[in-house]
């Protein structure tokens, strides 16, 4: 019997138990032995007829001290208890797998170091892209490449909301409520709609591929709460859509990284990724461009990635060495140096056009102009901030 434990019996935790229960037969064929969820750690009451009712424990030390438990799934979220428990488990020589992007993004450097020292795994396939295989492909299948850019729709909830706004003209609140009802959204929706969740995910991907920690605090992060129906109309005039995009680009040993709503021309790969789906485009010097696409949130897709990591630990009882190190303070560029083309919405088109040398005026609505810049830095953009109502970066 291969005994595992699950910490956290929420949406993802119950999904992990369900996948192990439903696929018991095929898992045991793959592993040559039966997998059993011996413990589920959670403080909340569970109905007596819940399939995991007899496995529920409230005392972390029980699973920590049980020598039969070699793999633990941490799906409780947050970075307080989850951090403390993960650290103790790794120190005790147990493998930990997780969907907890907050913890990986903020404490990954330290936890990976401990895992390395203890020769155990700290795996986090489910932390980015829900059910999409992305961590392992980036680390293993694309290992031959020097990866220079990752661009992704990394948050299912905001993609669901934006899709509804574009397709159905829905308002923001209704679409958010639906996403929450479907179990996509974080407990605190601010993490989704303010871009924090996507920020953690791009920080994890960038740290993994560039080998040095990309600190979330240095990532320019803008959410979608200010996107209005008039922005939707502007994007449509440009035959484009708006998506919340996380991007990290390595240039001259510096990473330019951001999370922000961006205008994407229809017909390009990320523009057609709708609803709760995520899409991640990776540019490598050997492969060119590759796009990963799939369900970016939800109970079973996320559980699929967590259980895959559990299987990996049970199959390969050694350290996989996902790893990154601390970075110098200038590794992540100042956001003022971030660059791109922008749509500027302004009532002062002459001033803006003159200051930024824009020759083409794109369109006008009710005395408000939409101007598209050439590639400029945010520092240059700042020189016209007094004249513009808003800006949206192009992709």
Give the shortest CB-175-to-ligand HSE separation in angstroms.
12
Burial of 363 (0-12, 13-18, 19+ CB in 10 A): middle
Give the shortest CB-136-to-ligand HSE separation in angstroms.
17
Does residue 331 belong to the site contacting ligand HSE (CB under 6 A)? no
**Which of 164, 201, 218, 393 does the annotation list as catalytic?**
201
Does residue 186 belong to the site contacting ligand HSE (CB under 6 A)? yes
Q: Which of 42, 74, 125, 192 binds ligand HSE (CB under 6 A)?
A: 192
Of the two residues 192 and 378, which places its CB atom closer to ligand HSE in the complex? 192
Look up residue 311 and give its two tokens. Answer: 């299987």
Of the two residues 39 and 184, which places its CB atom closer to ligand HSE in the complex? 184
Q: Which of 77, 131, 223, 296 binds ligand HSE (CB under 6 A)?
A: 296
Residues 112-151 interacting with ligand HSE (rule: CB under 6 A): 130
- DSSP H or E segment with residue 278: strand 277-284
Sort strands 220-221 and 254-265 into parallel, antiparallel or unpaired: parallel
Give the shortest CB-186-to-ligand HSE separation in angstroms.
4
Dihedral angle at the C-alpha atoms of 256, 258, 260, 262, nearest 10 degrees?
30
Please, are residues 278 and 305 in contact by the beta-carbon 8 Å criterion?
Answer: no
Kindly give the interhelix angle for 156-168 and 229-237, rounded to the nearest 10 degrees.
Answer: 70
Length of the chain: 395
Please, are residues 159 and 243 in contact by the beta-carbon 8 Å criterion?
Answer: yes
Q: Which of 297, 313, 343, 353 binds ligand HSE (CB under 6 A)?
A: 297
Q: Which of 37, 112, 162, 185 binds ligand HSE (CB under 6 A)?
A: 185
Cα(310)–Cα(123) distance, rounded to whole angstroms? 9
Give the shortest CB-247-to-ligand HSE separation in angstroms.
17
Binding mask 195-214 for ligand HSE (x = CB under 6 A): --x-----------------
Give the shortest CB-67-to-ligand HSE separation in angstroms.
33
Does residue 55 belong to the site contacting ligand HSE (CB under 6 A)? no
Binding mask 145-184 for ligand HSE (x = CB under 6 A): ----------xxx--------------------------x
Known catalytic membership, residue 101: no
**Is 157 strand, coil or helix?**
helix
**Is 244 strand, coil or helix?**
strand
Does residue 86 belong to the site contacting ligand HSE (CB under 6 A)? no
- For ligand HSE (CB under 6 A), the number of binding residues is 11
Of the two residues 179 and 395, which places its CB atom closer to ligand HSE in the complex? 179
Max CA-CA distance within the chain? 74
DSSP 317-358: -S------B---TTSBPPGGG-EE-EEEEES-HHHHHHHTT-
Query: Cα Rg for the chain, rounded, in angstroms?
Result: 22
Give the residue among 83, 36, 79 at the shortest CA–CA distance from 60.
83
Give the shortest CB-104-to-ligand HSE separation in angstroms.
11
Q: Would you please indicate which residues are annotated as catalytic (active-site) residues?
A: 201
Q: Which residues bind ligand HSE (CB under 6 A)?
A: 130, 155-157, 184-186, 192, 197, 296-297
């Amino acid at each position: 019997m291969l005994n595992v434990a699950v910490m956290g019996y929420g949406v993802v935790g119950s999904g992990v138990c369900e996948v192990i229960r439903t696929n018991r037969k095929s898992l045991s064929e793959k592993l040559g032995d039966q997998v059993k969820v011996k413990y589920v750690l959670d403080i909340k009451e569970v109905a007596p007829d819940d399939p995991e009712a007899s496995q529920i424990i409230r005392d972390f030390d029980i699973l920590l001290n049980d020598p039969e438990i070699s793999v633990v799934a941490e799906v409780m979220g947050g970075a307080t208890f989850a951090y403390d428990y993960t650290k103790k488990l790794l120190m005790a020589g147990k493998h930990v797998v997780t969907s907890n992007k907050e913890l990986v993004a903020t404490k990954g450097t330290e936890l990976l170091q401990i895992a390395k020292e203890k020769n155990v795994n700290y795996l986090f396939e489910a932390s980015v892209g829900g059910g999409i295989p992305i961590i392992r492909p980036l680390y293993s299948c694309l290992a031959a490449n020097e990866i220079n850019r990752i661009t992704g729709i990394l948050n299912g909830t905001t993609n669901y909301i934006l899709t509804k706004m574009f397709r159905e003209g829905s308002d923001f609140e209704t679409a958010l409520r639906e996403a929450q009802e479907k179990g996509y959204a974080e407990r605190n929706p601010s993490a989704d709609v303010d871009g924090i969740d996507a920020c953690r995910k791009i920080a994890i991907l960038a740290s993994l591929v560039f080998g040095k920690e990309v600190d979330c605090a240095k990532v320019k992060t803008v959410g979608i709460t200010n996107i209005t129906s008039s922005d939707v109309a502007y994007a449509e005039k440009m035959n484009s859509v708006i998506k919340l995009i996380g991007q990290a680009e390595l240039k001259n040993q510096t990473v330019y990284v951001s999370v922000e709503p961006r205008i994407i021309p229809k017909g390009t790969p990320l523009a057609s990724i709708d609803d709760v789906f995520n899409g991640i485009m990776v540019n490598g010097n050997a492969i060119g461009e590759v796009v990963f696409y799939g369900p970016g949130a939800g109970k079973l897709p996320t559980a699929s990635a967590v259980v895959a990591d559990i299987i990996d630990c049970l199959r390969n009882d050694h350290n996989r060495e996902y790893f990154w190190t601390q970075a110098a303070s200038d590794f992540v560029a100042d956001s003022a140096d971030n660059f791109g083309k922008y749509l500027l919405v302004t009532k002062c088109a002459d001033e803006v056009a003159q200051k930024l040398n824009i020759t083409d005026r794109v369109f006008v609505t009710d005395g408000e102009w939409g101007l598209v810049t050439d590639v400029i830095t945010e520092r240059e953009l700042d020189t016209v901030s007094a004249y513009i109502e808003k800006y949206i970066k192009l992709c």
